[in-house]
């Protein structure tokens, strides 16, 4: 069985890594390639680069930084944000990305998922799903979450959308629970378990990780990996320590060899 | 073979991510050419068959480029990667399509089960088949983790030199004559992948340096 994946997510704006809380108040935290190499060297199993402005402002991805990352990185990485057409997806893959994560454009045009899966294979089509819990307890999908000004209810229930997207060919889901994002109170494991039960593809937990135990909870809920940003960027959780902790709990991880 | 014979040719079907494979070899000091030209493929000292996407589309492209009979006739070291490995088998359930038939066996969809999602995605552990277990082969050792991302798997058979467990034994590396192939992505498998690619660079069909 695959090891539980630890996935740092790097928010990218104008070729730089930035970090915000609940998708707002972004500050510059450094160069993309430097961050990518740091995480590769510290045992990250995969990286996600999320172009936070491309989706909200409906611009294309800047391919120059994708190429820079592909040149030096020897672990898988996904590019998210603003991939709205088959040709844009092809360009990002040609630049060396392994996976495309699509979110708002898939909600606007669900056929995009079918087209990408058909031409490039399900294994490189990741559905980014921003889910929030409504007052009535229903989980609903949010769209254009790159900035507070554009963020809006997509008019779909999260479980139904997860099911539809995977039937259309999405090969993985990154499930981001928005009320937990940046709050470090733990993943929404009840929601993770519900999505895992609804689909056949791997589900990656996102939003809310604050300590090793939260990753163990996501694993117990059936997630194939845990994605996090601020706890890694702020160096509050070191991936080698996190992996050691998870291994001690009996969770299979890819061993980390200290350089 | 003229002076233009490349050390390594990467089959370029005109779509999909072959950049990451080319870059991985460049990190190892090689200078691969990307081509679909039959003469260049025949003359290259080594050929890499990469592949993402669906089996049917890849086979359509191979036929359209006039390579249906060229690839099976190659005699130099050939490396298949992921879909590029599956293309070397006889038939795929994906799109119900006949493949290149260089390795006996078929390609079938992995069945999803609770706790075993499909695609099989992530870092899985390799088990080397005897007689390699304990000694290593192709730069790999028992227990190495490699990165997989696939929904279809090749039949396990005599060609398997390393497998990974995903409900049943899935061939991770196969070897047959001049062909070696990996279901995992060596270009995205860190130091383990680099060791595997380095071992491919050491393979020769004739006494000729890299």
In the predicted structure, residue B79 carries a pLDDT above the cut 60:
yes
Give the whole-number percent of chain B exceeding pLDDT 90: 82
Residue B174 lies in a domain: yes
- Domain total of chain B: 1
Answer yes or no: do A120 and B117 touch at CB < 8 A: no
Q: What band does A63 get if pLDDT is binned at 50, 70 and 90?
A: confident
In the predicted structure, residue B172 carries a pLDDT above the cut 50:
yes
Q: What band does A196 get if pLDDT is binned at 50, 70 and 90?
A: very high
Closest residue in chain B to residue A42, using alpha carbons only? B190
Q: What's the whole-number average pLDDT of chain A?
A: 90
pLDDT of residue A58: 56
Residue B112 lies in a domain: no
Which residue of A94, A97, A200 is in closest CB contact with B112? Answer: A200
Can the peptide bond before residue B61 be classed as cis, meaning omega within 30 degrees of 0?
A: no
Residue B44 lies in a domain: yes
Q: What's the whole-number average pLDDT of chain B?
A: 92
Residue B25 belongs to a domain with what CATH number?
Answer: 3.40.50.880
Catalytic residues of A: 11, 130
* pLDDT tens digits, B118-161: 999 999 999 999 888 878 889 999 999 999 999 999 999 999 99
Q: What band does A22 get if pLDDT is binned at 50, 70 and 90?
A: low
Answer yes or no: do B53 and A97 touch at CB < 8 A: no
Answer yes or no: do B122 and A71 touch at CB < 8 A: no
Closest residue in chain B to residue A5, using alpha carbons only? B122
Mean pLDDT of A226-253: 94
pLDDT of residue B53: 77
Q: What band does A176 get if pLDDT is binned at 50, 70 and 90?
A: very high
pLDDT of residue A56: 57
In the predicted structure, residue B199 carries a pLDDT above the cut 60:
yes
In the predicted structure, residue A246 carries a pLDDT above the cut 50:
yes
Q: Token pair 């930084």 is at which residue?
A: A65
A47: which chain B residues are within 8 Å (Cβ-Cβ)? none
pLDDT of residue B208: 46
Mean pLDDT of B17-25: 89
Answer yes or no: do A120 and B52 touch at CB < 8 A: yes
Q: What band does A152 get if pLDDT is binned at 50, 70 and 90?
A: confident
Answer yes or no: do B165 and A119 touch at CB < 8 A: no
Residue B58 lies in a domain: yes
Q: What band does A182 get if pLDDT is binned at 50, 70 and 90?
A: low
Answer yes or no: do A94 and B19 touch at CB < 8 A: yes
A67: which chain B residues are within 8 Å (Cβ-Cβ)? 19
- CA dist A230 and A169 (Å) reads 31
pLDDT of residue B9: 97
Let me know if A164 is exposed, middle or buried by CB neighbors in 10 A (0-12, 13-18, 19+).
middle
A75: which chain B residues are within 8 Å (Cβ-Cβ)? 147, 188-190
In the predicted structure, residue A250 carries a pLDDT above the cut 90:
yes
Residue B59 lies in a domain: yes
- Interface check for B194 against chain A (CB to CB < 8 A): the answer is yes
pLDDT of residue A226: 98
B208 sits in the region (left: phi over 0; alpha: psi -120 to 50; else beta) called beta
Q: What band does B210 get if pLDDT is binned at 50, 70 and 90?
A: very low
Q: What band does B104 get if pLDDT is binned at 50, 70 and 90?
A: very high
- Contacts with A143 (C-beta within 8 Å, 6 or more apart), sequence order: A103, A104, A107, A108, A130, A151, A152, A153, A154
Query: What are the tokens at B28?
Result: 């190892």
Question: Which is more confident, A233 or A183?
Answer: A233
Question: Which is more confident, B157 or A152?
Answer: B157
pLDDT of residue B209: 45
Tell me the residue range of the domain where B171 lies.
8-107+117-201
pLDDT of residue A145: 75
Mean pLDDT of A46-64: 77
Q: Which of A169-173, A225-229, B205-209 has the lowest mean pLDDT?
A: B205-209
Q: What band does A219 get if pLDDT is binned at 50, 70 and 90?
A: very high
Q: What band does A153 get if pLDDT is binned at 50, 70 and 90?
A: confident
Answer for the pair A51, A80: CB distance below 8 angstroms, yes or no: yes
Q: Token pair 């996090």 is at which residue?
A: A228
pLDDT of residue B2: 47
Give the whole-number percent of chain A exceeding pLDDT 70: 92
ipTM over 0.85 threshold: yes
Question: Which is more confident, A151 or A134?
Answer: A134
| All domains of chain A in start order, with CATH | 5-248 (3.20.20.70)
Q: Which of A164-168, A182-186, B109-113, B160-164 has the lowest mean pLDDT?
A: A182-186
Q: Which of B30, B82, B90, B176 is catalytic?
A: B82
Residue B207 lies in a domain: no
Q: For residue A200, give the DSSP letter.
A: S
- CA dist B152 and A197 (Å) reads 22
pLDDT of residue B51: 78
Mutation target among B13, B16, B18, B20 for the A interface, most CBs of A within 10 A: B20
3-state secondary structure chain B: CCCCCCCEEEECCCCCCCHHHHHHHHHCCCCCEEECCHHHHHHCCEEEECCCCCHHHHHHHHHHCCCCCCCCCCCCCEEEECHHHHCCCCEECHHHEECCCCCCCEEEECCCECCECCCEEEEEECEECCCCCCCCECCECCCCEEEEEECEEECCCCCEEEEEEECEEEEEEEEECCEEEECCCHHHCHHHHHHHHHHHHCCCCCCCCC
In the predicted structure, residue B206 carries a pLDDT above the cut 60:
no
DSSP E strand stretches across chain A: 5-13, 16-21, 24-31, 47-51, 77-80, 99-102, 125-133, 139-143, 152-157, 172-177, 203-206, 225-228
Q: For residue A42, give the DSSP letter.
A: T
pLDDT of residue B50: 92
A123: which chain B residues are within 8 Å (Cβ-Cβ)? 52, 119, 121, 149-151
């Amino acid at each position: 069985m695959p090891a539980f994946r630890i996935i740092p997510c790097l928010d990218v704006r104008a070729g730089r890594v930035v970090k915000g809380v609940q998708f707002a108040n972004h500050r510059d935290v450094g160069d993309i390639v430097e961050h990518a190499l740091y995480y590769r060297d510290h045992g990250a199993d995969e990286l996600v680069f999320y172009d936070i402005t491309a989706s909200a402002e409906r611009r294309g991805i800047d391919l120059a930084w994708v190429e820079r990352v592909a040149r030096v990185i020897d672990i898988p990485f996904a590019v998210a944000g603003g991939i709205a057409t088959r040709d844009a997806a092809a360009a990002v893959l040609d630049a060396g990305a392994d996976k495309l994560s699509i979110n708002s454009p898939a909600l606007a045009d669900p056929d995009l998922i079918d087209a990408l899966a058909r031409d490039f294979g399900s294994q490189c089509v990741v559905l980014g799903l921003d889910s929030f819990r409504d007052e009535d307890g229903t989980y609903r999908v949010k769209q254009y979450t790159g900035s507070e000004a554009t963020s809006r209810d997509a008019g779909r229930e999260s479980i139904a959308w997860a099911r539809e997207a995977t039937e259309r060919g999405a090969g993985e889901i990154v499930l981001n629970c928005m009320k937990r994002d940046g709050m470090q109170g733990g993943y929404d494991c009840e929601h993770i378990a519900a999505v895992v039960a609804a689909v056949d593809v791997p589900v990656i937990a996102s939003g809310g990780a604050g300590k090793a135990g939260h990753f163990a909870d996501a694993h117990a809920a059936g997630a194939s990996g845990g994605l996090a940003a601020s706890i890694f960027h702020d160096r509050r959780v070191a991936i080698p320590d996190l992996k050691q902790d998870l291994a001690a709990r009996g969770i299979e991880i890819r061993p980390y060899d200290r350089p | 073979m003229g002076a233009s014979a490349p050390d390594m040719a990467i089959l370029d079907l005109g779509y999909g991510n072959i950049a990451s494979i080319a870059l991985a070899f460049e990190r190892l000091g090689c200078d691969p050419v990307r081509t679909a030209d039959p003469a260049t493929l025949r003359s290259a000292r080594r050929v890499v068959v990469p592949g993402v996407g669906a089996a049917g589309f890849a086979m359509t492209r191979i036929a359209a480029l006039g390579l249906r009979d060229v690839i099976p006739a190659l005699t130099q070291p050939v490396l298949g990667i992921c879909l590029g490995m599956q293309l070397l088998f006889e038939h795929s359930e994906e799109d119900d399509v006949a493949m290149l038939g260089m390795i006996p066996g078929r390609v079938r969809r992995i069945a999803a089960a609770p706790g075993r999602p499909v695609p099989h995605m992530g870092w899985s552990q390799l088990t080397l088949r005897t007689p390699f277990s304990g000694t290593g082969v192709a730069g790999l050792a028992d227990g190495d983790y490699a990165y997989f991302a696939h929904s279809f798997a090749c039949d396990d058979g005599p060609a398997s030199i390393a497998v990974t467990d995903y409900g049943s034994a899935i061939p991770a590396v196969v070897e047959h004559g001049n062909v070696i192939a990996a279901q995992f992505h060596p270009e995205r498998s860190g130091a383990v992948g680099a060791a595997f690619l380095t071992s491919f660079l050491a393979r020769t069909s004739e006494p000729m340096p890299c």
